[in-house]
Chain A
Amino acid sequence: MHTTAIALIQLGAVFFGLGLLGRLAWRIGISPIPLYLLGGLAFGHGGLIPLTGIEEFTHIASEIGVILLLLLLGLEYSAAELMTGLKRSWMAGVVDIVLNATPGALAALVLGWGPVGALAMAGVTYISSSGIIAKVLGDLGRLGNRETPVVLSVLVFEDLAMAVYLPILTAVLAGVSFLGGLTAVGISLLAITVVLVIALKYGKYVSAVVDSPDAEVFLLKVLGSALLVAGLASQLQVSAAVGAFLLGIAISGSTAENATRMLEPLRDLFAAMFFVVFGLNTDPASIPPVLGLAVALAVVTTATKVATGWWAAKRQHIGKLGRARAGAALVARGEFSIVIASLTVASGAVDGRLAALATAYVLLMAVLGPVAARVVEPLAKLVRKRGTEPATA
Protein backbone atom coordinates (compact mmCIF):
# COMPACT_ATOMS: atom_id res chain seq x y z
CA MET A 1 0.00 0.00 0.00
CA HIS A 2 1.01 3.60 -0.56
CA THR A 3 2.59 5.18 2.53
CA THR A 4 0.13 8.10 2.49
CA ALA A 5 -2.75 5.65 2.35
CA ILE A 6 -1.36 3.74 5.34
CA ALA A 7 -0.85 6.97 7.28
CA LEU A 8 -4.39 8.11 6.54
CA ILE A 9 -5.86 4.77 7.58
CA GLN A 10 -3.89 4.77 10.82
CA LEU A 11 -4.84 8.36 11.67
CA GLY A 12 -8.44 7.72 10.78
CA ALA A 13 -8.52 4.67 13.02
CA VAL A 14 -6.92 6.63 15.88
CA PHE A 15 -9.40 9.53 15.63
CA PHE A 16 -12.38 7.25 15.24
CA GLY A 17 -11.24 5.18 18.19
CA LEU A 18 -10.83 8.33 20.29
CA GLY A 19 -14.34 9.39 19.33
CA LEU A 20 -15.73 6.10 20.61
CA LEU A 21 -13.70 6.38 23.82
CA GLY A 22 -14.85 9.97 24.37
CA ARG A 23 -18.46 8.96 23.95
CA LEU A 24 -18.02 6.13 26.44
CA ALA A 25 -16.34 8.48 28.94
CA TRP A 26 -19.12 11.07 28.94
CA ARG A 27 -21.70 8.31 29.14
CA ILE A 28 -20.24 6.90 32.34
CA GLY A 29 -19.64 10.43 33.63
CA ILE A 30 -15.85 10.62 33.73
CA SER A 31 -13.30 12.73 31.89
CA PRO A 32 -12.11 11.20 28.59
CA ILE A 33 -8.45 11.92 29.46
CA PRO A 34 -7.74 8.55 31.16
CA LEU A 35 -9.37 6.70 28.28
CA TYR A 36 -7.27 8.60 25.73
CA LEU A 37 -4.17 7.66 27.71
CA LEU A 38 -5.26 4.02 27.79
CA GLY A 39 -5.93 4.19 24.06
CA GLY A 40 -2.40 5.46 23.54
CA LEU A 41 -0.96 2.74 25.78
CA ALA A 42 -2.79 0.05 23.83
CA PHE A 43 -0.93 1.01 20.67
CA GLY A 44 2.61 2.15 20.06
CA HIS A 45 5.69 1.01 22.00
CA GLY A 46 5.05 -2.41 23.48
CA GLY A 47 1.35 -2.09 22.74
CA LEU A 48 -0.92 -4.26 20.64
CA ILE A 49 -0.38 -2.62 17.26
CA PRO A 50 2.58 -0.33 16.63
CA LEU A 51 1.77 2.73 14.53
CA THR A 52 4.34 3.59 11.90
CA GLY A 53 4.88 6.44 9.49
CA ILE A 54 2.72 8.99 11.31
CA GLU A 55 5.12 9.82 14.15
CA GLU A 56 6.11 13.14 12.63
CA PHE A 57 2.53 14.29 12.33
CA THR A 58 1.43 13.00 15.73
CA HIS A 59 4.45 14.60 17.36
CA ILE A 60 3.74 18.09 16.01
CA ALA A 61 0.00 17.60 16.58
CA SER A 62 0.61 16.82 20.23
CA GLU A 63 2.81 19.92 20.56
CA ILE A 64 -0.01 22.01 19.10
CA GLY A 65 -2.34 20.26 21.55
CA VAL A 66 -0.34 21.54 24.53
CA ILE A 67 -0.19 25.05 23.05
CA LEU A 68 -3.97 25.11 22.51
CA LEU A 69 -4.64 23.71 26.01
CA LEU A 70 -2.70 26.59 27.54
CA LEU A 71 -3.96 29.23 25.09
CA LEU A 72 -7.57 28.42 25.95
CA LEU A 73 -6.75 28.38 29.63
CA GLY A 74 -5.38 31.92 29.24
CA LEU A 75 -8.41 32.99 27.20
CA GLU A 76 -10.68 31.84 30.02
CA TYR A 77 -9.37 34.46 32.40
CA SER A 78 -9.14 38.19 32.01
CA ALA A 79 -6.16 39.93 33.55
CA ALA A 80 -8.45 41.67 36.04
CA GLU A 81 -9.86 38.32 37.19
CA LEU A 82 -6.37 36.99 37.66
CA MET A 83 -5.36 39.96 39.77
CA THR A 84 -8.41 39.79 42.07
CA GLY A 85 -8.07 36.01 42.26
CA LEU A 86 -4.44 36.36 43.22
CA LYS A 87 -5.16 38.95 45.91
CA ARG A 88 -7.93 36.91 47.38
CA SER A 89 -6.39 33.47 47.31
CA TRP A 90 -2.64 33.72 47.61
CA MET A 91 -2.64 32.23 51.11
CA ALA A 92 -4.68 29.24 49.99
CA GLY A 93 -2.44 29.04 46.93
CA VAL A 94 0.68 28.75 49.07
CA VAL A 95 -0.94 26.09 51.30
CA ASP A 96 -1.92 24.26 48.11
CA ILE A 97 1.68 24.25 46.84
CA VAL A 98 3.18 23.11 50.15
CA LEU A 99 0.65 20.32 50.75
CA ASN A 100 0.41 18.94 47.23
CA ALA A 101 3.84 19.42 45.70
CA THR A 102 5.61 17.81 48.68
CA PRO A 103 4.28 14.24 48.24
CA GLY A 104 5.37 14.11 44.59
CA ALA A 105 8.80 15.59 45.35
CA LEU A 106 9.35 13.16 48.24
CA ALA A 107 8.35 10.17 46.11
CA ALA A 108 10.84 11.18 43.42
CA LEU A 109 13.62 11.66 45.96
CA VAL A 110 12.93 8.26 47.56
CA LEU A 111 13.10 6.65 44.12
CA GLY A 112 16.43 8.34 43.56
CA TRP A 113 15.35 10.52 40.65
CA GLY A 114 17.30 13.47 41.98
CA PRO A 115 16.28 17.11 42.43
CA VAL A 116 15.22 17.46 38.79
CA GLY A 117 12.88 14.46 39.09
CA ALA A 118 11.59 15.89 42.38
CA LEU A 119 10.80 19.20 40.70
CA ALA A 120 8.89 17.42 37.93
CA MET A 121 6.93 15.08 40.23
CA ALA A 122 6.13 18.02 42.55
CA GLY A 123 4.38 19.65 39.59
CA VAL A 124 2.57 16.44 38.62
CA THR A 125 0.96 15.99 42.05
CA TYR A 126 0.43 19.71 42.66
CA ILE A 127 -1.59 20.87 39.70
CA SER A 128 -5.32 20.15 39.65
CA SER A 129 -7.15 19.74 36.37
CA SER A 130 -9.11 22.94 35.86
CA GLY A 131 -10.75 21.38 32.80
CA ILE A 132 -12.17 18.39 34.68
CA ILE A 133 -13.10 20.46 37.74
CA ALA A 134 -14.97 23.18 35.84
CA LYS A 135 -16.93 20.49 33.97
CA VAL A 136 -17.77 18.57 37.16
CA LEU A 137 -18.87 21.70 39.05
CA GLY A 138 -21.14 22.63 36.15
CA ASP A 139 -22.57 19.12 35.85
CA LEU A 140 -23.30 18.91 39.58
CA GLY A 141 -24.98 22.35 39.57
CA ARG A 142 -22.51 23.72 42.10
CA LEU A 143 -21.60 26.95 40.28
CA GLY A 144 -23.98 28.90 42.52
CA ASN A 145 -22.51 27.40 45.69
CA ARG A 146 -20.67 29.59 48.12
CA GLU A 147 -17.55 27.44 48.17
CA THR A 148 -17.22 27.46 44.37
CA PRO A 149 -15.43 30.84 44.13
CA VAL A 150 -12.91 29.45 46.63
CA VAL A 151 -12.29 26.44 44.39
CA LEU A 152 -12.03 28.62 41.29
CA SER A 153 -9.58 31.05 42.85
CA VAL A 154 -7.34 28.18 43.95
CA LEU A 155 -7.38 27.03 40.31
CA VAL A 156 -6.54 30.55 39.13
CA PHE A 157 -3.58 30.62 41.47
CA GLU A 158 -2.41 27.22 40.23
CA ASP A 159 -2.60 28.36 36.63
CA LEU A 160 -0.51 31.44 37.38
CA ALA A 161 1.91 29.25 39.32
CA MET A 162 2.23 27.12 36.18
CA ALA A 163 3.31 30.21 34.23
CA VAL A 164 6.25 30.52 36.61
CA TYR A 165 6.86 26.80 37.10
CA LEU A 166 6.95 25.63 33.47
CA PRO A 167 9.81 27.97 32.42
CA ILE A 168 11.80 26.90 35.49
CA LEU A 169 11.20 23.23 34.70
CA THR A 170 12.06 23.75 31.03
CA ALA A 171 15.31 25.45 31.93
CA VAL A 172 16.28 22.84 34.55
CA LEU A 173 15.45 19.96 32.21
CA ALA A 174 17.57 21.54 29.48
CA GLY A 175 20.41 21.23 31.96
CA VAL A 176 21.26 24.90 31.90
CA SER A 177 23.54 26.34 34.51
CA PHE A 178 22.21 28.02 37.62
CA LEU A 179 22.72 31.38 35.94
CA GLY A 180 20.95 30.20 32.79
CA GLY A 181 18.06 28.95 34.92
CA LEU A 182 17.84 32.30 36.67
CA THR A 183 17.81 34.04 33.28
CA ALA A 184 14.91 31.87 32.09
CA VAL A 185 12.99 32.57 35.30
CA GLY A 186 13.82 36.25 34.99
CA ILE A 187 12.60 36.38 31.39
CA SER A 188 9.39 34.56 32.24
CA LEU A 189 8.63 36.71 35.29
CA LEU A 190 9.32 39.81 33.21
CA ALA A 191 7.12 38.48 30.40
CA ILE A 192 4.28 37.68 32.84
CA THR A 193 4.48 41.16 34.37
CA VAL A 194 4.60 42.87 30.99
CA VAL A 195 1.71 40.78 29.66
CA LEU A 196 -0.43 41.46 32.74
CA VAL A 197 0.23 45.20 32.49
CA ILE A 198 -0.45 45.20 28.73
CA ALA A 199 -3.59 43.12 29.21
CA LEU A 200 -4.87 45.36 32.02
CA LYS A 201 -4.20 48.64 30.22
CA TYR A 202 -4.04 47.92 26.51
CA GLY A 203 -5.88 44.59 26.23
CA LYS A 204 -8.15 45.98 23.54
CA TYR A 205 -5.21 46.67 21.21
CA VAL A 206 -3.94 43.09 21.48
CA SER A 207 -7.47 41.91 20.81
CA ALA A 208 -7.73 44.30 17.85
CA VAL A 209 -4.63 42.78 16.24
CA VAL A 210 -6.13 39.30 16.08
CA ASP A 211 -9.80 40.24 15.79
CA SER A 212 -11.66 40.05 12.50
CA PRO A 213 -15.35 39.93 11.63
CA ASP A 214 -14.56 37.12 9.19
CA ALA A 215 -14.49 33.73 10.96
CA GLU A 216 -11.87 32.22 8.68
CA VAL A 217 -9.49 35.17 8.93
CA PHE A 218 -10.00 35.29 12.68
CA LEU A 219 -9.21 31.60 13.13
CA LEU A 220 -6.04 31.84 11.06
CA LYS A 221 -4.88 34.98 12.88
CA VAL A 222 -5.49 33.59 16.38
CA LEU A 223 -3.93 30.21 15.66
CA GLY A 224 -1.05 31.82 13.78
CA SER A 225 -0.25 34.27 16.56
CA ALA A 226 -0.46 31.50 19.18
CA LEU A 227 2.03 29.32 17.32
CA LEU A 228 4.31 32.32 16.66
CA VAL A 229 4.34 33.37 20.30
CA ALA A 230 4.78 29.77 21.45
CA GLY A 231 7.67 29.25 19.05
CA LEU A 232 9.40 32.46 20.12
CA ALA A 233 8.89 31.61 23.80
CA SER A 234 10.34 28.18 23.18
CA GLN A 235 13.36 29.76 21.49
CA LEU A 236 13.86 31.95 24.58
CA GLN A 237 13.74 28.78 26.75
CA VAL A 238 10.54 30.06 28.40
CA SER A 239 8.40 27.06 27.35
CA ALA A 240 6.07 27.26 24.37
CA ALA A 241 3.02 26.52 26.51
CA VAL A 242 3.60 29.53 28.76
CA GLY A 243 3.89 31.82 25.73
CA ALA A 244 0.49 30.63 24.54
CA PHE A 245 -0.97 31.03 28.05
CA LEU A 246 0.21 34.64 28.27
CA LEU A 247 -1.14 35.43 24.80
CA GLY A 248 -4.48 34.03 25.95
CA ILE A 249 -4.51 36.34 28.95
CA ALA A 250 -3.68 39.37 26.81
CA ILE A 251 -6.61 38.71 24.47
CA SER A 252 -9.74 39.82 26.26
CA GLY A 253 -13.41 40.70 26.05
CA SER A 254 -15.57 39.54 23.18
CA THR A 255 -12.48 38.66 21.11
CA ALA A 256 -11.53 36.13 23.79
CA GLU A 257 -15.03 34.66 23.83
CA ASN A 258 -15.10 34.29 20.05
CA ALA A 259 -11.63 32.80 20.03
CA THR A 260 -12.62 30.29 22.70
CA ARG A 261 -15.71 29.24 20.79
CA MET A 262 -13.72 28.84 17.60
CA LEU A 263 -10.68 27.07 19.03
CA GLU A 264 -12.45 24.68 21.39
CA PRO A 265 -13.02 21.95 18.80
CA LEU A 266 -9.43 22.34 17.58
CA ARG A 267 -8.14 22.08 21.12
CA ASP A 268 -10.18 18.95 21.77
CA LEU A 269 -8.78 17.38 18.61
CA PHE A 270 -5.13 18.23 19.22
CA ALA A 271 -5.25 17.70 22.99
CA ALA A 272 -6.70 14.21 22.41
CA MET A 273 -3.75 13.66 20.09
CA PHE A 274 -1.41 14.86 22.83
CA PHE A 275 -2.75 12.34 25.37
CA VAL A 276 -2.60 9.52 22.84
CA VAL A 277 0.96 10.35 21.85
CA PHE A 278 1.98 10.44 25.50
CA GLY A 279 0.36 7.03 25.96
CA LEU A 280 1.98 5.74 22.75
CA ASN A 281 5.43 6.67 24.01
CA THR A 282 4.86 4.95 27.33
CA ASP A 283 5.45 1.23 27.44
CA PRO A 284 2.44 -0.46 29.09
CA ALA A 285 4.81 -3.00 30.64
CA SER A 286 6.35 -0.17 32.69
CA ILE A 287 3.05 0.60 34.47
CA PRO A 288 2.56 -2.43 36.78
CA PRO A 289 5.88 -1.96 38.69
CA VAL A 290 4.91 1.61 39.66
CA LEU A 291 1.22 0.96 40.24
CA GLY A 292 1.58 0.47 44.00
CA LEU A 293 3.42 3.74 44.33
CA ALA A 294 0.88 5.52 42.15
CA VAL A 295 -1.95 4.27 44.39
CA ALA A 296 -0.08 5.44 47.49
CA LEU A 297 0.51 8.86 45.91
CA ALA A 298 -3.14 9.01 44.88
CA VAL A 299 -4.30 8.32 48.44
CA VAL A 300 -1.94 10.86 49.99
CA THR A 301 -2.58 13.63 47.46
CA THR A 302 -6.33 13.11 47.59
CA ALA A 303 -6.10 13.76 51.32
CA THR A 304 -3.84 16.80 50.83
CA LYS A 305 -6.11 18.36 48.19
CA VAL A 306 -9.16 17.82 50.39
CA ALA A 307 -7.24 19.47 53.23
CA THR A 308 -6.33 22.40 50.95
CA GLY A 309 -9.94 22.96 49.90
CA TRP A 310 -11.18 22.51 53.47
CA TRP A 311 -8.74 25.08 54.78
CA ALA A 312 -9.37 27.59 51.98
CA ALA A 313 -13.16 27.31 52.37
CA LYS A 314 -12.95 27.61 56.15
CA ARG A 315 -11.14 30.93 55.75
CA GLN A 316 -14.12 32.18 53.74
CA HIS A 317 -16.52 31.11 56.53
CA ILE A 318 -18.02 28.22 54.60
CA GLY A 319 -19.83 25.51 56.58
CA LYS A 320 -18.39 22.03 57.08
CA LEU A 321 -20.30 20.40 54.22
CA GLY A 322 -19.18 23.18 51.88
CA ARG A 323 -15.58 22.75 53.03
CA ALA A 324 -15.74 19.04 52.24
CA ARG A 325 -17.24 19.81 48.82
CA ALA A 326 -14.51 22.36 48.06
CA GLY A 327 -11.81 19.87 49.05
CA ALA A 328 -13.21 16.99 47.03
CA ALA A 329 -13.75 19.22 43.99
CA LEU A 330 -10.02 19.99 43.83
CA VAL A 331 -8.90 16.33 43.80
CA ALA A 332 -8.90 15.76 40.01
CA ARG A 333 -5.52 15.88 38.25
CA GLY A 334 -5.31 15.63 34.51
CA GLU A 335 -4.02 17.51 31.50
CA PHE A 336 -1.32 19.61 33.17
CA SER A 337 0.23 16.73 35.08
CA ILE A 338 0.64 15.01 31.72
CA VAL A 339 2.04 18.20 30.16
CA ILE A 340 4.70 18.29 32.89
CA ALA A 341 5.47 14.59 32.51
CA SER A 342 5.77 14.88 28.73
CA LEU A 343 8.20 17.81 28.99
CA THR A 344 10.26 15.73 31.38
CA VAL A 345 10.21 12.64 29.20
CA ALA A 346 11.09 14.62 26.07
CA SER A 347 14.20 16.03 27.73
CA GLY A 348 15.47 12.60 28.74
CA ALA A 349 16.96 14.19 31.87
CA VAL A 350 14.97 12.11 34.33
CA ASP A 351 14.47 8.38 34.99
CA GLY A 352 12.13 6.88 32.37
CA ARG A 353 9.88 5.45 35.07
CA LEU A 354 8.59 8.98 35.72
CA ALA A 355 6.40 8.76 32.62
CA ALA A 356 4.94 5.46 33.83
CA LEU A 357 4.31 6.81 37.33
CA ALA A 358 2.74 10.03 36.01
CA THR A 359 0.53 8.05 33.63
CA ALA A 360 -0.66 5.65 36.32
CA TYR A 361 -1.19 8.56 38.72
CA VAL A 362 -3.24 10.62 36.27
CA LEU A 363 -5.24 7.53 35.23
CA LEU A 364 -6.23 7.16 38.89
CA MET A 365 -6.79 10.83 39.71
CA ALA A 366 -8.73 11.78 36.59
CA VAL A 367 -11.24 9.05 37.47
CA LEU A 368 -11.11 9.52 41.23
CA GLY A 369 -11.55 13.33 41.07
CA PRO A 370 -15.06 13.46 39.59
CA VAL A 371 -16.09 10.48 41.75
CA ALA A 372 -14.81 12.21 44.89
CA ALA A 373 -16.71 15.40 44.00
CA ARG A 374 -19.88 13.35 43.60
CA VAL A 375 -19.71 11.12 46.69
CA VAL A 376 -18.38 13.68 49.16
CA GLU A 377 -21.79 15.02 50.13
CA PRO A 378 -23.55 11.75 50.95
CA LEU A 379 -20.36 10.59 52.63
CA ALA A 380 -20.03 13.72 54.77
CA LYS A 381 -23.69 13.54 55.76
CA LEU A 382 -23.26 9.90 56.75
CA VAL A 383 -20.25 10.75 58.90
CA ARG A 384 -22.11 13.60 60.53
CA LYS A 385 -25.11 11.37 61.28
CA ARG A 386 -22.90 8.73 62.88
CA GLY A 387 -21.26 11.45 64.93
CA THR A 388 -24.46 12.92 66.31
CA GLU A 389 -26.51 9.78 66.85
CA PRO A 390 -25.91 7.58 69.86
CA ALA A 391 -23.95 4.43 69.09
CA THR A 392 -26.88 2.18 69.97
CA ALA A 393 -29.12 3.67 67.27
Chain B
Amino acid sequence: MIADMNVEVTPLPGIGTRQDFMIRAGRRIGVITYRDGKFELIVSSKDDPDDCSASIPLTPTEAGTLAGLLGAPQLVAHLRDQHSDITGISTKQFPIVPGSDFDGRTLGETELRTRTGASIVAVVRAGAVSPSPRPDFVFAGGDLVVVVGTADGLGQAADILGGG
Protein backbone atom coordinates (compact mmCIF):
# COMPACT_ATOMS: atom_id res chain seq x y z
CA MET B 1 0.00 0.00 0.00
CA ILE B 2 2.91 2.39 0.60
CA ALA B 3 5.04 3.00 -2.46
CA ASP B 4 8.66 2.21 -1.70
CA MET B 5 10.66 5.36 -1.23
CA ASN B 6 14.36 5.42 -1.85
CA VAL B 7 15.49 5.92 1.74
CA GLU B 8 19.19 6.56 1.97
CA VAL B 9 20.92 5.16 5.06
CA THR B 10 24.19 6.91 5.91
CA PRO B 11 26.32 5.91 8.89
CA LEU B 12 27.64 8.83 10.96
CA PRO B 13 30.69 7.34 12.68
CA GLY B 14 30.69 8.06 16.39
CA ILE B 15 27.23 9.60 16.28
CA GLY B 16 24.63 7.27 14.80
CA THR B 17 22.82 6.96 11.49
CA ARG B 18 21.09 9.35 9.12
CA GLN B 19 18.13 8.05 7.15
CA ASP B 20 16.60 10.41 4.66
CA PHE B 21 14.91 10.66 1.28
CA MET B 22 14.08 13.26 -1.34
CA ILE B 23 10.49 14.37 -1.42
CA ARG B 24 8.70 15.63 -4.50
CA ALA B 25 8.99 19.22 -3.24
CA GLY B 26 12.74 18.92 -3.71
CA ARG B 27 13.68 18.70 -0.07
CA ARG B 28 15.38 16.04 1.94
CA ILE B 29 13.44 14.77 4.94
CA GLY B 30 14.74 12.27 7.38
CA VAL B 31 15.73 11.17 10.81
CA ILE B 32 19.04 11.06 12.63
CA THR B 33 19.10 8.22 15.14
CA TYR B 34 21.74 8.79 17.78
CA ARG B 35 23.48 5.82 19.31
CA ASP B 36 21.91 6.51 22.68
CA GLY B 37 18.47 6.20 21.05
CA LYS B 38 17.59 9.88 20.65
CA PHE B 39 15.96 11.03 17.40
CA GLU B 40 16.22 14.17 15.38
CA LEU B 41 13.88 15.10 12.58
CA ILE B 42 15.81 16.80 9.79
CA VAL B 43 14.54 18.90 6.91
CA SER B 44 16.93 20.21 4.28
CA SER B 45 16.92 23.86 3.35
CA LYS B 46 15.14 25.12 0.30
CA ASP B 47 18.08 26.61 -1.54
CA ASP B 48 20.82 24.18 -0.49
CA PRO B 49 19.85 20.49 -0.46
CA ASP B 50 23.14 19.65 1.31
CA ASP B 51 22.26 21.87 4.27
CA CYS B 52 19.58 21.42 6.92
CA SER B 53 17.23 24.24 7.77
CA ALA B 54 15.87 22.33 10.75
CA SER B 55 17.06 19.56 13.02
CA ILE B 56 14.47 18.98 15.67
CA PRO B 57 15.20 16.70 18.63
CA LEU B 58 12.27 14.38 19.41
CA THR B 59 11.67 12.13 22.39
CA PRO B 60 10.61 8.56 21.52
CA THR B 61 7.01 9.40 22.48
CA GLU B 62 7.03 12.54 20.35
CA ALA B 63 8.49 10.65 17.40
CA GLY B 64 5.86 7.93 17.86
CA THR B 65 3.06 10.46 18.02
CA LEU B 66 4.26 12.17 14.86
CA ALA B 67 4.56 8.83 13.13
CA GLY B 68 1.02 7.99 14.24
CA LEU B 69 -0.34 11.27 12.94
CA LEU B 70 1.31 10.77 9.57
CA GLY B 71 0.77 7.02 9.42
CA ALA B 72 -2.83 6.71 10.61
CA PRO B 73 -4.45 7.90 7.34
CA GLN B 74 -2.45 5.22 5.54
CA LEU B 75 -3.78 2.59 7.93
CA VAL B 76 -7.33 3.84 7.58
CA ALA B 77 -7.00 3.81 3.80
CA HIS B 78 -5.75 0.25 3.99
CA LEU B 79 -8.66 -0.86 6.17
CA ARG B 80 -11.09 1.01 3.93
CA ASP B 81 -9.76 -0.97 0.98
CA GLN B 82 -10.36 -4.18 2.89
CA HIS B 83 -13.96 -3.27 3.65
CA SER B 84 -14.73 -1.59 0.34
CA ASP B 85 -16.44 -4.71 -1.03
CA ILE B 86 -19.16 -4.38 1.59
CA THR B 87 -21.50 -1.57 0.65
CA GLY B 88 -22.66 0.78 3.37
CA ILE B 89 -19.66 0.10 5.57
CA SER B 90 -16.90 2.64 6.03
CA THR B 91 -13.88 3.26 8.20
CA LYS B 92 -13.05 6.32 10.28
CA GLN B 93 -10.49 7.34 12.85
CA PHE B 94 -11.15 9.17 16.09
CA PRO B 95 -8.59 10.57 18.52
CA ILE B 96 -8.93 9.92 22.27
CA VAL B 97 -8.54 13.43 23.64
CA PRO B 98 -6.25 13.46 26.69
CA GLY B 99 -8.34 13.91 29.86
CA SER B 100 -11.56 12.93 28.08
CA ASP B 101 -13.95 10.26 29.34
CA PHE B 102 -12.20 7.27 27.84
CA ASP B 103 -8.64 8.34 28.61
CA GLY B 104 -7.58 5.56 31.00
CA ARG B 105 -10.69 3.38 30.52
CA THR B 106 -11.03 0.10 28.73
CA LEU B 107 -12.42 -0.61 25.30
CA GLY B 108 -15.12 -2.78 26.93
CA GLU B 109 -16.40 0.18 28.93
CA THR B 110 -17.23 2.14 25.77
CA GLU B 111 -19.83 -0.51 24.90
CA LEU B 112 -19.42 0.88 21.43
CA ARG B 113 -20.58 -2.21 19.60
CA THR B 114 -23.71 -2.65 21.70
CA ARG B 115 -24.60 1.02 21.44
CA THR B 116 -23.72 1.77 17.79
CA GLY B 117 -23.07 -1.48 15.95
CA ALA B 118 -19.69 -0.09 14.91
CA SER B 119 -16.55 -1.86 16.00
CA ILE B 120 -13.03 -0.83 16.84
CA VAL B 121 -10.65 -2.65 14.52
CA ALA B 122 -7.37 -1.03 15.52
CA VAL B 123 -5.77 1.48 17.85
CA VAL B 124 -2.72 3.51 16.83
CA ARG B 125 -0.56 4.57 19.73
CA ALA B 126 2.82 6.31 19.40
CA GLY B 127 3.23 5.01 15.89
CA ALA B 128 2.49 1.39 16.80
CA VAL B 129 -0.70 -0.27 15.64
CA SER B 130 -2.66 -2.62 17.91
CA PRO B 131 -4.94 -4.53 15.54
CA SER B 132 -8.18 -6.06 16.86
CA PRO B 133 -7.82 -4.76 20.43
CA ARG B 134 -9.57 -6.88 23.09
CA PRO B 135 -12.25 -5.54 25.46
CA ASP B 136 -9.66 -5.13 28.25
CA PHE B 137 -7.54 -2.77 26.10
CA VAL B 138 -6.98 0.48 28.06
CA PHE B 139 -7.17 3.70 26.05
CA ALA B 140 -4.76 6.54 26.65
CA GLY B 141 -4.94 10.18 25.62
CA GLY B 142 -3.52 10.64 22.12
CA ASP B 143 -4.58 7.19 20.87
CA LEU B 144 -6.15 7.05 17.43
CA VAL B 145 -9.07 4.64 17.33
CA VAL B 146 -9.98 3.14 13.96
CA VAL B 147 -13.66 2.24 13.76
CA VAL B 148 -15.57 0.32 11.09
CA GLY B 149 -19.33 0.68 10.78
CA THR B 150 -22.27 2.19 8.96
CA ALA B 151 -22.45 5.97 8.50
CA ASP B 152 -24.96 6.17 11.36
CA GLY B 153 -22.91 3.95 13.60
CA LEU B 154 -19.80 6.00 12.96
CA GLY B 155 -21.65 9.20 13.77
CA GLN B 156 -22.76 7.77 17.10
CA ALA B 157 -19.27 6.42 17.74
CA ALA B 158 -17.91 9.93 17.22
CA ASP B 159 -20.29 11.27 19.87
CA ILE B 160 -19.39 8.55 22.36
CA LEU B 161 -15.64 8.66 21.89
CA GLY B 162 -15.62 12.42 21.69
CA GLY B 163 -17.59 13.11 24.87
CA GLY B 164 -19.28 10.07 26.40
Contact = CB atoms under 8 A, between A and B. Distances in A.
Contact of A141 (B28, B48, B52): B52
A81 B42 contact: no
Contacts of B61: none
Contacts of A319: 48-50
A111 B63 CA distance: 58
Interface string A192-207: 0000000000000000
B41 to A, nearest CB: 9
A81 B11 contact: yes
A319 B30 CA distance: 19
Interface stretch (A112-120, A144-152, A173-181, A360-368): A144-152
B46 interface: no
Interface string A102-145: 00000000000000000000000000001000100000011111
A134 B14 contact: yes
Contacts of A141: 52, 54-55
A212 interface: no
Interface centre among B15, B18, B30, B50 (most CB of A within 10 A): B50
A359 interface: no
A147 B15 CA distance: 15
A92 interface: no
Contacts of B14: 76-77, 81, 130, 134, 152, 155-156
Interface residues of B, number: 23
A141 B41 CA distance: 11
A84 interface: yes
B32 interface: yes
A100 interface: no
Contact of A318 (B30, B35, B50): B50
A155 B13 CA distance: 9
B13 A147 contact: no
Q: How extensive is the interface on chain A, given as a class?
A: 20 to 34
Interface string B39-53: 010101000111110
A321 interface: yes
A257 B35 contact: yes
A243 interface: no
Interface in B24-40: 28, 30, 32, 35-36, 40
B15 to A, nearest CB: 6
Contacts of A149: 10-13, 18
A153 B10 CA distance: 11
B32 A322 contact: no
Contacts of B44: 144
Q: Which 4 A-B residue pairings sit nearest by Cβ, starting from the closest?
A: A144-B42, A322-B50, A76-B14, A146-B50
Interface of B: 10-15, 18, 20, 28, 30, 32, 35-36, 40, 42, 44, 48-52, 54-55
